[in-house]
Amino acid sequence: MIPDGWKSITIGDLTSSHSYGPRFHAKNYDENGNVKTIRNTDVTAEGEILYTQAPIASLEPEIIEQHALKTGDLIVITTADCGLSAIFKEQDIPYIPSAYAVRYRLNQNVLPLFIKYFMHTKLAQKQVAQFVRKGTVANLPGSDVLKIKLVLPPLSEQKKIAEILGSVDEAIASTQAVIDQTRKVKQGLLQQLLTKGIGHTKFKESAIGKIPESWEVVPFDSLALIGPQNGIYKSKDDYGSGVPMIDMGAIFGSDIIEEVERRCVRLTEDEYEKFALKEGDLLFARRSLVAEGSGKCSILGYHNIEPVFESSIIRFRLKPNLGNPLFYFYYWESPLGKKQRLEITRQVAVSGITGKDLSKLLVPLPPINEQIRISKILKNIDKQIDSNDLTINQLNLLKRGLMQDLLTGKVRVK
DSSP string, 322-370: T--HHHHHHHHHSHHHHHHHHHT-B-SSSEE--HHHHHHSEEEE--HHH
Q: How far is CA 110 from the centre of its chain?
A: 33
Q: What are phi and psi of 365, to 5 degrees?
A: -130, 85
Both 134 and 231 in one domain: the answer is no
Rounded-to-integer distance, Cα 221 and Cα 240, Å: 35
195 belongs to a structural domain:
no
| pLDDT at residue number 138 | 84
CATH number at residue 39: 3.90.220.20
Which helix (H) or strand (E) segment holds residue 309: the answer is: strand 308-309
| pLDDT tens-digit series, residues 114-144 | 999 999 999 999 999 999 988 778 889 999 9
Rounded-to-integer distance, Cα 341 and Cα 173, Å: 34
Surface-to-core class of residue 306, CB atoms within 10 Å of its CB (0-12 exposed, 13-18 middle, 19+ buried): middle
For helices 155-196 and 325-333, angle between their N-to-C axes, nearest 10 degrees: 110
Both 144 and 250 in one domain: the answer is no
355 belongs to a structural domain:
yes
Q: Bridge-partner residues for 283, per DSSP? A: 298, 315
373 belongs to a structural domain:
no
198 belongs to a structural domain:
no
| pLDDT tens-digit series, residues 242-266 | 999 999 889 988 899 998 888 899 9
Single out the residue in 102, 133, 152 at which a domain terminates: 152
| pLDDT at residue number 348 | 58
Return the closest-CA partner of residue 400 out of 125, 152, 153, 130. Answer: 125
Both 110 and 237 in one domain: the answer is no
Rounded-to-integer distance, Cα 145 and Cα 132, Å: 10
Return the closest-CA partner of residue 249 out of 214, 283, 213, 211. Answer: 283
Both 143 and 249 in one domain: the answer is no
Cα-Cα-Cα-Cα dihedral sign, residues 120, 124, 130, 133: negative
Q: Which residue ranges of the chain lie beneath pLDDT 50?
A: none
Count of positions (residues) in the chain: 414
Both 131 and 248 in one domain: the answer is no
Single out the residue in 96, 123, 152 at which a domain terminates: 152
Both 147 and 33 in one domain: the answer is yes
209 belongs to a structural domain:
no
Both 358 and 239 in one domain: the answer is yes
Both 223 and 313 in one domain: the answer is yes
Total of domains in the chain: 2
| Alpha helices, DSSP H, located in 197-236 | none
Both 361 and 220 in one domain: the answer is yes
162 belongs to a structural domain:
no
Single out the residue in 365, 380, 397 at which a domain terminates: 365
247 belongs to a structural domain:
yes
| pLDDT at residue number 342 | 87
188 belongs to a structural domain:
no
Both 108 and 240 in one domain: the answer is no
| pLDDT at residue number 347 | 63
Both 221 and 360 in one domain: the answer is yes
Residues 185, 381 contacting (CB under 8 angstroms): yes
Helix (H, G, I), strand (E, B) or coil at 276: coil
Which helix (H) or strand (E) segment holds residue 318: the answer is: strand 313-318
Both 356 and 220 in one domain: the answer is yes
Domain range for 124: 7-152
| pLDDT at residue number 110 | 95
